[in-house]
């Protein structure tokens, strides 16, 4: 049977695996699903239709599944939160449910580490192995690629897409799309180079060399970045380079960079 503290409130109808732990004064709604190994610590609160994957830890006073901060939301809307496996959600994190117009789901992938006071707004899609440092804030409809690290005190504007394997410097402000494998920082943030540490941790030398070559063409050429990306798509075969170029071609908010400050 689940280990539920006598002061916790678990509404009838909630689905809890046998080894779930619920701490003192925690709240779990009737539409919540908690998989094996989940721990909801003291004072944490889970509302609405929320699914939490195996071995995820929700630390004290985090609030998950509250209605979206969107003036178009109606209580009868079918909206929810889905959180993956082995996610660490630290103290005072807030994760809001999706909106009807945004697809209805706010989704967090597997193996993420979301630090104190982070906010993930409605309809955000966060990939696997993402790290959000203290006070990082995602506005609505933001997409974060897997293996991305977001520095502390960093807000990200609504509808922005961040590619896979990106590093965002602390205290940056992101208002445009950041392509995969890049490093961005500043207020407003611009692409400064490649996430070299992240590349070395994950990829073989051939892929890294191909990404470095593509980066130079994309961000140092005098041609428009989408023009260069289109040429690379027609000539390149490396999957990681194609991933970068497709991201750039599909960007709707633009790619922020200054050629004179690109040192990689």
Three-state secondary structure string covering 161-203: EECCCCEECCCCEECCCECCCEEEEEECEEEEEECHHHHHHHC
Gap between the Cα atoms of 234 and 169, Å rounded: 32
Contact 168, 186 (CB under 8 A): no
> Which of 136, 132, 70 shows the shortest CA–CA distance to 97?
70
- Is residue 18 part of the annotated active site? The answer reads no
Gap between the Cα atoms of 23 and 59, Å rounded: 10
- Is residue 123 part of the annotated active site? The answer reads yes
SS3 state at 53? coil
Cα torsion through 169, 172, 174, 177, rounded to 10: -20
Catalytic residue among 23, 109, 140, 145: 140
Q: Which residue pairs from 234-238 have beta carbons closer than 8 angstroms and sit at least 24 positions apart in sequence?
A: 236/210, 238/206, 238/207, 238/210, 238/211, 238/214
Gap between the Cα atoms of 21 and 3, Å rounded: 5
Catalytic residue among 122, 141, 143, 161: 122
- Is residue 140 part of the annotated active site? The answer reads yes
Torsional sign, CA 152, 154, 155, 157: negative
Catalytic residue among 55, 70, 123, 177: 123
Residue numbers annotated as active site: 122-123, 140
């Amino acid at each position: 049977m689940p280990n539920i503290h006598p002061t916790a409130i678990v509404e009838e109808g909630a689905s809890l695996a046998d080894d779930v732990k619920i701490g003192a004064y925690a709240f779990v709604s009737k539409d919540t699903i908690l998989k094996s190994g989940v721990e909801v610590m003291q004072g944490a609160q889970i509302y609405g239709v929320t699914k939490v994957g195996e071995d995820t830890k929700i630390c004290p006073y985090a609030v998950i599944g509250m209605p979206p901060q969107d003036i178009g939301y109606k209580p009868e809307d079918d909206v929810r939160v889905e959180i993956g496996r082995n996610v660490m959600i630290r103290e005072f994190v807030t994760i809001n449910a999706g909106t009807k117009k945004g697809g209805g789901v706010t989704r967090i992938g597997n193996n993420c580490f979301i630090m104190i006071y982070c906010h993930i707004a409605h309809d955000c899609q966060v990939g696997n192995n993402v790290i959000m440092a203290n006070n990082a804030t995602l506005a609505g409809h933001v997409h974060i690629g897997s293996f991305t690290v977001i520095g502390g005190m960093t807000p990200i504007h609504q509808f922005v897409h961040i590619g896979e394997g990106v590093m965002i410097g602390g205290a940056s402000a992101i208002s445009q799309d950041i392509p995969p494998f890049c490093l961005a920082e500043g207020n407003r943030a611009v692409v400064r180079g490649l996430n070299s540490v992240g590349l070395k941790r994950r990829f073989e030398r051939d892929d890294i060399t191909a990404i470095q070559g593509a980066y130079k063409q994309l961000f140092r050429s005098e041609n428009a970045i989408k023009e260069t990306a289109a040429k690379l798509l027609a000539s390149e075969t490396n999957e990681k380079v194609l991933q970068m170029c497709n991201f750039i071609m599909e960007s709707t908010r633009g790619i922020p960079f200054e050629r004179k400050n690109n040192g990689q």
